[in-house]
């Protein structure tokens, strides 16, 4: 007894009063008012589904907002982490594609420049017009050099066929040689122009996707952070939350809630995910078309 008293600090036999610990707990520690698993991210919300990729339980809010409508997980629910990973992979894939296309574009332009120099020198003896025409055709050849030479070399054996007279055969062969060269040069002109338009439009489109998908990543992360703080502080208005919770200081979603209200911000979030889904679809289609065009 004495030892116990000492331990309690009441050695002078003055009764000590220990105030009861407050029974109020913040909602985050409250026992959920539902049976079954809670959302992995929002532990005061019941889970309505499981992530199609990793199996984490997710609440209705998560289910509605991290939905991917296309590709491998079309029509299925993904959790926040898996959704983030998917968008991040998309951004990564876009960056790689962009780098590949930029490389091809640079090679094409270098080919055009070299071709133009050779062509101008070649055609210079025929005056300005000759220099321009040769310069243009050779620039086109330089831009699609691989295809041009493949076509031209594979048709050479057909140029020289025996006509019974060796001189006639050689003349006919040379005419075919020169004719074929110009026909393939004109084909190369269309091909090079088409390639350059494709490269430029691909790079423009892709950089737009990279930008908006990166923004989507940030918005999804902000949305998750906001909903976690909001659920732990139910009943507190957004102004107070923004003032008190330093983690929301640079949270763009919380700012959007303040500006447009909860509903307006949610609509923006749905737009963001819809845009991302649309991009996923365009990226997949563009990749298939891109492989054919390159």
Measured from the CB atom, the residue of 27 and 179 that comes closer to Zn ion is 27
- In whole angstroms, the minimum distance from the beta carbon of 65 to Zn ion comes to 9
Cβ distance to Zn ion smaller for residue 30 or 282: 30
The least distance separating Zn ion from the CB of residue 255, rounded to whole angstroms, comes to: 21
**Nearer CB in complex with Zn ion: 189/228:** 228
| CA quadruple 96, 101, 104, 110: dihedral sign | negative
Provide, rounded to whole angstroms, the least separation between the CB of residue 284 and Zn ion: 21
Return phi, psi of residue 278, to 5°. -60, -45
Least Å distance, CB 73 to Zn ion, is: 10
**Interface positions with Zn ion (CB under 5 A):** 39, 41-42, 51, 53-54, 56, 59, 62, 79, 82
Q: Which is nearer to Zn ion, 82 or 91 (CB)?
A: 82
What is the nearest approach in angstroms of Zn ion to the Cβ of residue 276? 16
> In this complex, which beta carbon is closest to Zn ion, that of residue 6 or of residue 270?
270
């Amino acid at each position: 007894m004495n030892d116990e008293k000492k331990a309690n600090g009441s050695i002078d036999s003055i009764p000590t009063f220990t105030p009861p610990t407050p029974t109020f707990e913040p909602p985050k520690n409250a026992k959920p008012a539902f049976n079954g698993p809670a959302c992995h991210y929002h532990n005061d919300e019941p889970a309505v589904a499981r992530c199609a990729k990793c199996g984490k339980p997710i609440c209705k809010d998560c289910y509605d907002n991290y939905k991917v409508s296309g590709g491998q997980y079309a029509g299925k629910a993904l959790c926040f982490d898996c959704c983030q990973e998917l968008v991040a992979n998309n951004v990564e894939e876009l960056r790689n594609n962009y780098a590949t296309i930029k490389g091809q574009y640079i090679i094409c332009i270098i080919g055009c420049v070299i071709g133009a120099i050779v062509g101008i020198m070649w055609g210079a003896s025929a005056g300005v017009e000759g220099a321009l025409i040769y310069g243009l055709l050779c620039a086109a050849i330089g831009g699609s050099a691989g295809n041009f030479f493949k076509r031209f070399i594979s048709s050479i054996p057909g140029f020289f066929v025996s006509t019974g007279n060796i001189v006639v055969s050689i003349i006919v062969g040379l005419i075919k040689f020169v004719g074929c060269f110009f026909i393939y040069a004109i084909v190369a002109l269309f091909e090079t122009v088409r390639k350059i338009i494709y490269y430029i439009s691909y790079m423009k489109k892709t950089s737009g996707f990279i930008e908006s998908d990166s923004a989507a990543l940030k918005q999804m992360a902000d949305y998750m952070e906001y909903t976690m703080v909001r659920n732990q502080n139910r009943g507190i208005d957004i102004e107070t939350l923004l003032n008190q919770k330093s983690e929301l200081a640079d949270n763009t979603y919380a700012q959007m809630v303040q500006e447009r209200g909860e509903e307006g911000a949610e609509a923006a979030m749905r737009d963001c995910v819809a845009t991302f889904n649309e991009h996923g679809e365009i990226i997949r289609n563009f990749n298939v078309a891109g492989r054919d065009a390159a």
